[in-house]
Structure 1
């Protein structure tokens, strides 16, 4: 799919599986994925973190990989991309403070282009003010924030693996839903419109 570009917003301590899996899956499908991070250039890396669920009251965190940035954030023009991917982890809590990140996100909702978000990634969508009336899920700890932003909370299952589709938005609870998360996103960017629906 020459010329079909996907934008991925990442930062240091992005969740490892939620960045690497979609990058590789979308590349395998023939898309060009531009992974970018504010204040970093193509060829630099961000550190990832591996989050797991090990019977404590919240997730654990371990060092992950150095994830390569394939484009320069300052040179991104959102009009050049057919879809947006926002992984979770710790990076969304500070990426949402970047005004240009928010403007980029708003572009994808204004133009109704597909957006895939997972885990803590909706924190960026909340800050961008694009979730009112939309079904969205994520890590359960951000449920109050999503509700306050006017989103409709997509209930999570016991394994945190479920996925919701609402218009242009595909949201997942955690990396455990990666296969279905990317399957639904791939359908949207391929132009297969299922309208307003959800997968639980």
Structure 2
């Protein structure tokens, strides 16, 4: 059975966390959702980001999401793929050395990785984007380019695959992103 590690955290984007988590489970994959300094059974708060005609997205409080695995002791060698959702969580998760070590482990083993919206900020901090073609939420474009990636501005419902990496700009891209991600399994 394919095992997917999902690294998530407080104020992750609700849809980008819950929809892929449930979809991957429904497709028969095992998904462990973890958060630094948290254990299985604890909950994290989420945020709902929407596009309502303003110059940026709006943010509202989302659902609580229950973690199903412990962060402590997680190792990239125990998983077949990595998924990193967006929202606010990547802002602080990218400061965690263990999170960055996990990301590097997936890339050095050439395992499938998917990340959406602000999630690629973690990939940038891990130093794994040099020479890659990536997408992300448009506000992340400067950071993607500074990390040596070729940033592509996609329609909000599209995703791009470069080798073992699938990235997308926001939650409307779930169908495209998930289709491309599981094709790498």
Q: Is the TM-score greater than 0.5?
A: yes
| Residue 181 in structure 1 maps to residue 177 in structure 2 | yes
SS of equivalent residue, structure 2 residue 184: helix
Deviations 1:76-122 (A, max 9, x none): 12101000000000000100000000000000100000000000001
> Aligned partners of 2:182, 2:7: CA distance in 1, in Å?
17
Q: CA RMSD in A?
A: 0.7
User: Which runs of no fewer than 5 residues in structure 1 stay unpaired?
Assistant: 190-200
User: Which runs of no fewer than 5 residues in structure 2 stay unpaired?
Assistant: none
Please state how far the C-alpha of 1:156 moved relative to its aligned partner.
2.0
Match of 1:112? 110
* Structure 1 residue ranges (4+ consecutive) displaced by more than 2 angstroms after TM superposition: none
**Counterpart pick for 1:165 among 161, 165, 169:** 161
Match of 2:84? 86
Task: Compute the TM-score of the two structures, normalised by the length of structure 2.
Answer: 0.98
SS of equivalent residue, structure 1 residue 63: strand
* Matched ranges for 1:134-145 at <5 A: 134-145=132-143
Task: Compute the TM-score of the two structures, normalised by the length of structure 1.
Answer: 0.91
Match of 1:13? 11
Please state how far the C-alpha of 1:185 moved relative to its aligned partner.
0.5
SS of equivalent residue, structure 1 residue 61: strand
Match of 2:51? 53
CA contact (8 A) 1:140 1:156 kept: no
